Amino acid sequence: MISDARHSLSVTMETFPSWSAARPSSRTKPYSPFFKSQFSDADANKMDGTIDGIEPETFRVVLRFMYTDMLPRDVELSTELLQRLLAAADTFHMDGLKHTCAQKLWELVSPETVAATICCAEAHNCPELKDKCIDFLLAQEDVWTVVLSEGFRQLALCFPSVIDELRERVGYEMPSPEESFTIDDLIMS
């Protein structure tokens, strides 16, 4: 381990040492413009800094991915962690991490997580993940379980354009075994 850290990055009250000798090279595939500016040789003072809006646990995984081009095997990759990683990858312009997180989120999608995953995909510009999740949602035998969930309500409040996409794909009215309800009826109740 290198012990002569001269600079650091502060992430939510936790400091991560940064060494010029240990930073990823510009040849490293997951290297990002954000980190390139942080670790610039041209201005050594840029190697000190603060990164807001990310939890230390998430940042550790981002750093590991940056050096290894892989998600760690010793960390539980929950849907919530993958969503935070996808957000970080979008912020830091790390396309490789973003693609990997989108794939892992798709592998974990379920009726319970699909609405939140659609929100995350829409917020962080992952149209393929969003489309797959919408297909998944519409293929559910009991689509009403998803549509009536709090996650779907949040989706409707945060991204009404996604609800418009659903309307286009299934028609304005969505049938129920007992009676017809419109999506507006469901999200306004």
This prediction's pTM: 0.74
pLDDT band at 128 (very low <50, low <70, confident <90, very high): very high
User: What beta strand segments (E) does the chain contain?
Assistant: 7-11, 14-18, 49-51, 173-174, 181-182
Q: How far apart are CA 7 and CA 21, in angstroms?
A: 12
Question: With respect to CATH, is domain 54-171 assigned 3.30.710.10?
Answer: yes
Mean local confidence (pLDDT), 127-150: 90
Predicted confidence (pLDDT) at residue 144 exceeds the cutoff of 50: yes
Q: How far apart are CA 66 and CA 151, in angstroms?
A: 31
Angle among Cα 52, 58, 63 to the nearest 5 degrees reads 95
pLDDT of residue 15: 65
Lowest-pLDDT choice from 68-72, 147-151, 180-184: 180-184
Contact between 46 and 37 under an 8 Å Cβ cutoff? The reply is yes
